């Protein structure tokens, strides 16, 4: 059992993932949540595209370059898929055209960022498969995106371990700490926004109840 969880790190839900899932479930009761959630996913995929495009030209290791090129291609496909599903084909492109500061990250920090972000992405896909269970078209997309995100989570984790084994353990530890800290900060910011909405969310009836009322 332990071995299986080791191979599927996204299945090890920490307190952050558990609390986040509760808040998202509450929020999903709100009218319009499903479409907005797909738009947010499209923007998040577009953000990954921008970051990978900025980093790829300076990657010299051929194996890592091949993996990151495949990663970029996957995220472009995810952006197109979620933009189409949310009803705004330009949702992701609109974000990408605004540019981003993340192009300044060095390669180690970037891979550390994706190691955490892809794990969260997998947890989101698992949760959304439950929240979109009524929509076969979205569900089909979430299933193949989930498969890609598992690949991204796995190769970034292996790359970080490889750098640590190759004599860069201290730098790897620092980059992982920084990525986890960024992840926690972003979670706390989102949670604070959720908390302000909480009174309204707690009295909202599920959309399915409204549909059948
Ligand atoms: Fe993605
Ligand atoms: Fe990904």
- Domain for residue 20, yes or no? no
Range of the structural domain that residue 121 is part of? 30-203
- Provide the number of structural domains found in the chain: 1
**136 within a domain of the structure (yes/no):** yes
Residue 53 scores a pLDDT above 50: yes
In a domain, 45, yes or no: yes
Is 192 contained in some domain?
Answer: yes
Task: Judge contact between 109 and 101, C-beta under 8 A.
Answer: no
Tens-digit pLDDT profile for residues 12-51? 888 889 999 998 998 898 889 999 999 999 999 999 999 9
Kindly give the distance from the C-alpha atom of residue 77 to the centroid of ligand 1, in angstroms, as a whole number.
8
Q: What's the 46 CA to ligand 2 centre distance in angstroms?
A: 10
- Whether residue 62 is contained in a domain is answered as yes
What is the CA(27)–ligand 2 centre distance, in A? 24
Counting ligands in written order, the one closest to the CA of 82 is 1
Ligand 1 centroid to residue 93 C-alpha, Å: 14
Tell me which DSSP letter residue 105 carries.
Answer: -
Is the pTM above the cut of 0.95?
no
> Would you tell me how many other CB atoms lie within 10 Å of the CB of residue 77?
16
CA distance 68 to 57: 11
Give 55 Cα–ligand 2 centroid separation in angstroms: 15
Side-chain-facing half-sphere of 31: CA atoms under 13 Å = 3
Calculate what percentage of the chain has a pLDDT beyond 90: 67
pLDDT tens-place string over residues 104-128: 679 999 999 999 999 999 999 999 9
Average pLDDT in the chain: 88
133-159 pLDDT, tens per residue? 999 999 999 999 999 999 999 999 999
Ligand nearest to the CA of 52: 2
69 inside domain: yes
Residue 29: phi, psi to the nearest 5? -75, -20
Please give the distance, rounded to the nearest whole angstrom, from the Cα atom of residue 211 to the centre of ligand 1. Answer: 31
What distances in angstroms separate CA 36 from CA 6, 42, 55, 204, one per listed residue?
33, 10, 29, 17
Residue 6 lies in a domain: no
* CATH number of the domain enclosing 67: 1.20.1260
pLDDT at 4 over 80: no
Euclidean distance between CA atoms 196 and 194, whole angstroms: 5
Is position 180 within any domain? yes
């Amino acid at each position: 059992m332990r071995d299986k969880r080791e191979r599927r790190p996204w299945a090890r839900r920490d307190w952050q993932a558990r609390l986040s899932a509760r808040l998202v479930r509450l929020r999903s009761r709100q009218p319009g949540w499903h479409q907005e959630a797909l738009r947010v996913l499209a923007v998040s995929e577009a953000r990954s595209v921008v970051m990978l495009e900025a980093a790829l030209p300076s990657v010299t290791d051929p194996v890592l370059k091949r993996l990151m090129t495949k990663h970029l291609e996957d995220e472009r496909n995810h952006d197109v898929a979620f933009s189409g599903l949310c009803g705004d084909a330009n949702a992701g492109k609109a974000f990408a055209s605004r540019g981003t500061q993340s192009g300044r990250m060095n390669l180690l920090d970037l891979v550390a960022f994706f190691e955490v972000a892809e794990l969260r992405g997998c947890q989101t896909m698992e949760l959304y498969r439950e929240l979109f269970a009524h929509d076969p078209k979205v569900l089909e997309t979430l299933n193949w995106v989930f498969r890609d995100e598992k690949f991204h989570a796995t190769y970034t984790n292996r790359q970080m371990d490889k750098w640590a084994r190759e004599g860069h353990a201290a730098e790897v530890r620092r980059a992982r700490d920084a990525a986890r800290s960024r992840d926690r900060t972003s979670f706390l910011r989102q949670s604070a926004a959720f908390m302000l909405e909480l009174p309204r969310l707690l009295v909202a009836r599920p959309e399915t109840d409204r549909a059948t009322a």
